[in-house]
Each structure stands twice: as structure tokens, then as C-alpha cells.
Amino acid sequence: MGNTVSENCPKPDTRRARNQETTVHNRTSKTQQSELLTSQRAQTPPHNTMGSSSRRLRAFKRWMRSQGIDFSDALQFTDDGEAISVRALCDLKVGDMVARIPKTTCLTVKTSGARELIESAGLGGSLGLSVAVMYERSLGQSSPWAPYLHLLPPHESLPLLWSLHEVDSLLCGTELHKTVKEDKAIIYEDWKENILPLLDSPLPFNLNPNFFGVEQYLAARSLIASRSFAIDEFHESGMVPLADLFNHKTGAEDVHFTSVSSHSDSKSDTECSKNDLQANTGDNEPSSENSYSDGGGSDTSGGSDLDSSLVLGDHTTALEMIMVKDVKVGNEVFNTYGLVGNAALLHRYGFTEPDNPFDIVNIDLELVSQWSLSLFSGRYSRAKLSLWRRLGYSGCVSENTEYFEISSDGEPQIELLILLYIMLLPEDTYHKLDLTLSTKGNSNGSIGMILSEKGKFMLEKASEEVSRDLLLTKDVCNALRLLADMRDSFYGSNSMKDDIEALGNCCIRRERKLYYSLILRISERGILERLRTYAASGVQSFRTAKRSSVRKKLKKT
């Protein structure tokens, strides 16, 4: 069996937060080196020695050394009292290995003292890992991970942990509102069904209820969502000390995590194979169906030392952190948590980024139906929708809702344009198309078919760009503008200008939830604004001119 590495792409949390999430793997041959970057370069003191080493950081570093976690002294861990970040103490170069973390030091179900308890209860996934985290936390100083756990925040401020009032007031209208409310209910059920019964576990698991309440469960889930990694098939997801200290920058990471394997089915015995791991995999999707099929024996007991014999059935022994970009002395070293939009970032990690190019806004089919009903009868609207479907189109579907994506530049999904176009077809054209489709019986070249049925031009193989251009009639553009207005009304009475002003007056430290949710609102509303611009440009005369030139070209061919 080959090296097992799970990609640490964040899974789409929800349909709302399912903005493109892709991993970036731009490794270079230099990453094959296996020497840890040592102090040679770091010994040159930086001009501006910044940051501090807090007591908890010093204890954590001592603990890392005692556990065999190697880290370069070119990395500076900075503790501002609330959060940690990592900076370069000297110029870091692509290919520099800056840390090596033995898997045995990761906090997973397999390494936790609660392994037997978790496995016998059949708890897998985030549920199992959260019991491991709660259990180790309950041990206090006796936990083998005590200095690591001490460095973690009590919880991450994810919307899942906000009060219902906060969720309703701060997320109203956003892509997260409904999702978070649903999450809260499911997570509570998870706890009641799976965690509460553990308190009756027989000795030696004398669990302290104070560490296994619903609040502690939510806190553990928030830490897992925001900082766990998929390690391998054996360990599954786990907390990876040190690797989880790097902050995120969208599409501009400096460091990659790699699983290192040196085992028998490598091409040669001496060959090291490496696979990228990407932060973070915390499965924030509440689920009650977590179960373990692994019935493997368990020989760990509570509060044991980290046990190197735990790397069972998996030959990969360590995780490495390797620079994929040069970083100048004094600059922060970033990881990436994936190419995700702000709704996903807030949902899983509790923060958002201004000008995030991976943002999207969704327009529900339900909203399109409302718009259609404001113009046409229910029967007429349904018939048009059915024609659109018979032509082979659909929107995105998730959790029984059908919707259309508007990308961050304001461009709507083409299926929405086609639907609007069909909805707005003149009655006779619609009947003609309906009849043609019934006789033809297939929907090949459907865009061309729709457009040609309008009788203006023949278009068999339309490129998406040309099709878009032709679909953007004046009526379709007006419909887009109306839909943008309808979607924007979900945000309540505050205008976008009010939101921007509120953000300007907001203190990120004191009003973190407000700050990040305002960025989410503003970025989503910005997309709707760009959708309006997109629609407006469609009705401008230059656009008409462009269309007529496209038509001319098409006629010639």
C-alpha cells in the first residue's frame, strides 16, 4: 500500500459556503531535501526583532523539543496575548524545511488516552476527535499534550458558537444564516445522543461532566473545524501541534505541510515519498452518523505518554513543513486553508478577508420563481421552467435547494441566464421551441437551439462567451437587476453604505463577530452590485453593437 495522505482541503461546508475550494500544490524539486533549516541563516539577527516569547510559548517550545518535534530557529512564534502567528527571523527560501512533526505527537483518536472509550462507543470523525480533545483537556497538566492544549484558545469564535440573537442579527441575509441555524440544532442533537451517554462510562473512564458539557463540545468542535488536519488513514483527522500556528492567506501561502514516507513499497528503500497536506480539514459539518469500523485493538490508557508504537499499519512517520515561497525576514509566514470564499472562511475558521476573489452569492430558484410570478401566471411560469429542464438544464443543488451562483466579479451562472431567457421568450417562440423539442426529443446543442428558435441567427456550437452575450437581452438584464435587488433586500434595512460605515467604526479586537460578519455582508453585497453593473452593461448600446458584430460573424460562418 502506498503512502496514505489525505488532502486537507476543507470540504464544502454547506451549499452556502461551498465557494470553490481547491488545493494548491506548487512544489519544487527543492522540497525533496530533508535537512531542517538550522540557525545558520537565522543567526544573523533581524534588523527589527519583533514579537515576544510568552510563557505559554516557551513551555510549548520545550514540550516540542521533548517530543521530538523539530522546528527551525528561523521561525519566530509571536504571541499577542490572544493569538499566535509565525514570522521569519531570517530570509526563508523556497524548499527550506522549517519543521518536522512526528505523527505520534499529533492528538488523534488513536493517540489519545480516550481511544478505547471512543472506539468502543463507535465514535468516528469529528465526534471522536472532539471526545479526544475534551478528554485530554479534562486531564489538565496530566495530559501528554498539556503545553500544546494550553496554547490553544478556549474555543474559536465560529458562528456555530454565537448566540441565536447574534446569528440572526449579524448573519441575516448572508449565505451563512440558515446554515448556522441548522448546524446549531444538529450539533446539540449530536452531543445529546453521543457525548452525554459517555458520562456513564465504567471505570477507568471516570469522566468529569464539567469537561463534557454541550459548551465544551462546541468549543472542541470549533477547534477541530479551524485547526485539524487529515493525517492519514490510520490516524484520520487530528490536531497537529505547531502546524496549526500558521495563519491563512487566500491563494498566497508560503508553506506547505507534507507527509513523509520512507517505506517498503517506495521505488527504492532509501527514497522518501512526500505528499502535501493542506490545512485544515476540520469537518464542521455536524453529523450524527460518525461511526468507527476499525475494531483494532486498543492498548492506550488515560494520560499515557505519547507512544511511538502507535504508528500502526502506516509507514509514514512524520509531517514536514516546507517553504514554497521566499519570505523576507520579519514577514509573517502564511499557510493556506484552501481557496475559499468568505462564507466558508467564517463558517469554519471564524474570520473573513476583504476582497476575497473566491466569494460567491447564490440566487435561489425560489427567488427566480417569485420574480416570474410577479410577471406571469403560475401555470406559465411552471411551463417555462419545465421547458428549461427538458433542455437539460438545472441549477446547483444542495440540501434540497436549487440555486445559481454569482461569482465574485458579478457574473451569473449561465444556467440562470438561459432560464431567464426562456422565461421571457415571446409566447409564439416558446410554443415553437416546445414543439421542436417534443419532435426532436433531445436537447443537443440546446443553447443554439433556443437562440435559433428566436429566428435571428443560426448557432449550433455556441461558445459560452458568445452564448452569454446573445442571452443578455434587455429584458434578461432587467430581470437580473430585479433579482439582485430582491436578493439584496434579505440583508434588511441597512444599506451597503451603512454597512461600510459600520465597518469603519468597528474595532476588530473588541467586536470581532461584528467585524467579520460585516466584511461578509459587504463582500456579498458587492457581488450583487457587480451583478447590477453586469446587467447594466448588457443593455448599453456598445453591448448591442458588439452583439450585432457577433451576429454578423456567425452569419458568415
Ligand X SMILES: C[S@@+](CC[C@H](N)C(=O)[O-])C[C@H]1O[C@@H](n2cnc3c(N)ncnc32)[C@H](O)[C@@H]1O
Residues forming contacts to ligand X in the complex (CB under 6 A) are 83-85, 156, 226-227, 244-248, 349-351
CB of 352 to ligand X, least distance (A): 8
CB of 151 to ligand X, least distance (A): 7
Nearest Cα neighbor of 140 from 150, 130, 129 is 150
Side-chain-side CA neighbours of residue 200 (13 Å): 6
Nearer to ligand X, 227 or 487 (CB): 227
CB of 265 to ligand X, least distance (A): 33
CB of 188 to ligand X, least distance (A): 22
Nearer to ligand X, 56 or 432 (CB): 56
Nearer to ligand X, 303 or 350 (CB): 350
CB of 42 to ligand X, least distance (A): 21
Residue 383 grid cell: 411551463
CA–CA dist 261, 27 (Å, integer):
16
Task: Please tell me what DSSP assigns to residue 309.
Answer: G
Nearer to ligand X, 113 or 282 (CB): 282
Q: How far is CA 50 from the centre of its chain?
A: 31
Nearest Cα neighbor of 453 from 432, 471, 472, 438 is 432
CA–CA dist 82, 247 (Å, integer):
13
CB of 418 to ligand X, least distance (A): 38
CB of 247 to ligand X, least distance (A): 3
Beta bridge partners of 84: 79
CA–CA dist 213, 211 (Å, integer):
6
Task: Please tell me what DSSP assigns to residue 227.
Answer: H
Q: How far is CA 208 from the centre of its chain?
A: 33
CA–CA dist 67, 62 (Å, integer):
9
CB of 244 to ligand X, least distance (A): 4
Nearer to ligand X, 221 or 530 (CB): 221
CB of 310 to ligand X, least distance (A): 24
Nearer to ligand X, 84 or 323 (CB): 84
Nearest Cα neighbor of 318 from 385, 269, 272 is 272
CB of 490 to ligand X, least distance (A): 26
DSSP for 121-153, please give it: TT--HHHHHHHHHHHHHHTGGGSTTHHHHHHS-
CB of 345 to ligand X, least distance (A): 8
Nearest Cα neighbor of 235 from 342, 164, 316 is 316
Nearer to ligand X, 337 or 421 (CB): 337
Nearest Cα neighbor of 333 from 102, 26, 89, 128 is 89
The H or E element spanning position 256 is strand 255-261
Q: Mapping DSSP to helix (H, G, I), strand (E, B) and coil, where does residue 229 land?
A: strand
Nearer to ligand X, 379 or 510 (CB): 510
Nearer to ligand X, 156 or 236 (CB): 156
CB of 171 to ligand X, least distance (A): 17
Range list of β-strands (E), 354-448: 360-364, 396-398, 401-407
DSSP for 156-195, please give it: ---GGGS-HHHHHHHHTTSTTHHHHHHHHHHHHHHIIIII
CA–CA dist 344, 356 (Å, integer):
11
Nearer to ligand X, 84 or 479 (CB): 84
Residue 554 grid cell: 456567425
CA–CA dist 272, 31 (Å, integer):
11
Nearer to ligand X, 247 or 443 (CB): 247
Nearer to ligand X, 136 or 314 (CB): 136
In degrees, rounded to 5, the angle at the alpha carbon of residue 285 between the alpha carbons of residues 280 and 291 is 100
Backbone angles phi, psi at 430, to 5 degrees: -60, -45
- Terminus-to-terminus CA distance in the chain, angstroms? 55
Nearer to ligand X, 255 or 406 (CB): 255
The H or E element spanning position 318 is strand 316-323
Phi-psi region of 471 (alpha: psi -120 to 50; beta: other; left: phi over 0): alpha
CB of 350 to ligand X, least distance (A): 5
Nearer to ligand X, 302 or 350 (CB): 350
Q: What is the spatial order of strands in the sheet that 97-102 belongs to?
A: 70-71, 97-102, 316-323, 255-261, 273-277
CB of 103 to ligand X, least distance (A): 18
